[in-house]
Structure 1
Amino acid sequence: MKLFNLTNIRLVIMLVVVAFLFSFTSKRNAARKLAKSEVIFVGDNAPFVKQETVNKLLIENKKDASGIEKDKLDLNKLEKAVNAHQMIEKSEVFVSIDGVLKAVVKQKTPIARVFDGERSFYIDYKGNRMPLSANFAARVPLVSGIINKKNSKDLSELFREIHNDAFLKKNIIGVQIMPNGSLLMMNRNFDFRIDFGRMINVKRKFKNYKAFFQKAVLDSSLYKYNKIDLRFTEQVVCTK
């Protein structure tokens, strides 16, 4: 019985010591200051937002991260501040084992640039507006005309279709939204206009255009045309 009690006492003492050491270490670690901050961009986009801009959000306008104690950090708050930036789609903010405050950042992906006569802005991959960047200009189709609640969803789907296709992304450089809702498009290397018509049968129209282009480019006949009409889904009509 005495042996049993002694064993229990020793076990309790060991648990108390371990708990004390853990608590002491945790408090000491929390009181330690950060070594630095680091911003990591992921994805294929060039940096539309500068690292310095994200870094300022992380250190909350302090000169550098080395003056910030770990226990003073609210990582959730910092992550929300970074995510609120108009150029950023999402981020993950954390502190590494070696005391570095890190932000892994995914920027928004612009798929079209709109000029409505007064303002210019991007449409991102999710169909939302995105401001222009002073740091980098994206090579995306330039869109003129009016975008409103009625046509914004269909236009976003059309822009995504262009962005996701290597051929269309390279060749379609402009989209003009006509007052009646039909679209005129411009090709990068040729002077002809593409009469796309209304935003119906989008995939089929682009498929027809790609098939026509790949055939016509072989005999150099593309230089002869002023307009390529895609309104009729069963055929492509060319006008000289």
Structure 2
Amino acid sequence: MNKIKKILLWSLLLLYFPVMLGFITSHRKDIVCREISVVVKDSLQTRFVSSAEIRSAVLGKFDGALGTDLNALPLNDIESFVEKHPAIKSCEVYNTIGGHLRIDLNQHLPLFRVFENSRSYYIDEDGNEMRLFDNFTARVLVVSGAIKDQMEHLQFIARIFRNDPFWDAQIEQLYVKANGDYVLVPRVGDHLILLGPPVRIEEKLRNLRALYKKGLSPREWNNYQVIILKYKGQVLCSKKRNI
């Protein structure tokens, strides 16, 4: 008896799914686009674009999208159009059962900002140059100086600072001297940090962290202008700011 019940149950299920699939397919043919919903998935990190801005741009480019048969919308064309925005890294466009055209997007994530002669721009996570935007300024490491041929090292150290809450809160700027030495500017305090050439970076930063946490007292910090990490196995403090 139980075996017969199981056979009947599976038979009903096999009949049910094609019927429901046909109903849904038939129903979707009659659905028009009632709304365009844009979701900026990384908006908590970066706000170069807004949902309203992208929605308005899509409506301007694809006039009449609202009220059009949902299945007739050129999803690939809309996706390509949205991805042309200089702030957008990736985009996915699809329809929902409720009659919405859904646009999910991610922005380029700036790693650091460069000041070079009269120009200023971001370098993103992929090492690409990214222009500035008037509506939002990313809180990232600021880099200047002789940065030519230094991009690989700068990306490496910028990721260390970005991924470590201690350094992210502590270091504000990085300057590359003509001789290739790196100089760090902290957010708090009047001292500079001579990191030296971009070698043994993690070791140097471990030494600097130890100095910050276990070394000088708050009163002693005012006695020094430069912390020198350039030399292997040494942390020197100088009262002269000229480096």
- Name the aligned partner's letter for residue 106 of structure 2: K
Matches within 5 A, 1:186-197: 186-197=185-196
- Indicate if the aligned counterparts of 2:161 and 2:168 stay in contact, CA closer than 8 A: yes
Show structure 2 runs of 5+ residues with no match.
1-14
- Name the aligned partner's letter for residue 50 of structure 1: S
Q: Which has the larger displacement, 51-60 or 29-38? A: 51-60
TM value normalised by structure 2: 0.80
The 1-side partners of 2:89 and 2:150 are apart by 23
The 1-side partners of 2:237 and 2:73 are apart by 64
The match for 2:155 is 156
- Indicate if the aligned counterparts of 2:28 and 2:97 stay in contact, CA closer than 8 A: no
Could you report, residue by residue, the CA deviation over 1:42-64 in whole angstroms, capped at 9, with x for unpaired residues?
Answer: 23313111223322454452457
The 1-side partners of 2:59 and 2:147 are apart by 38
- Name the aligned partner's letter for residue 108 of structure 2: K
- Name the aligned partner's letter for residue 236 of structure 1: V
The 2-side partners of 1:85 and 1:208 are apart by 43
- Indicate if the aligned counterparts of 1:112 and 1:141 stay in contact, CA closer than 8 A: yes
- Indicate if the aligned counterparts of 2:46 and 2:109 stay in contact, CA closer than 8 A: no
Percent of pairs with identical residues: 30
Q: Which has the larger displacement, 196-205 or 82-91? A: 82-91
The 2-side partners of 1:179 and 1:31 are apart by 67
The match for 1:71 is 71
Could you report, residue by residue, the CA deviation over 1:161-196 in whole angstroms, capped at 9, with x for unpaired residues?
Answer: 111111111111111111222111101111111111
The match for 1:126 is 126
TM value normalised by structure 1: 0.81
Aligned: 1:117 with 2:124? no
Q: CA deviation at 1:126?
A: 2.1
Q: CA deviation at 1:81?
A: 2.6
Q: CA deviation at 1:125?
A: 2.0
The match for 2:94 is 94
- Indicate if the aligned counterparts of 1:176 and 1:184 stay in contact, CA closer than 8 A: yes
The count of residues paired between Structure 1 and Structure 2 equals 221
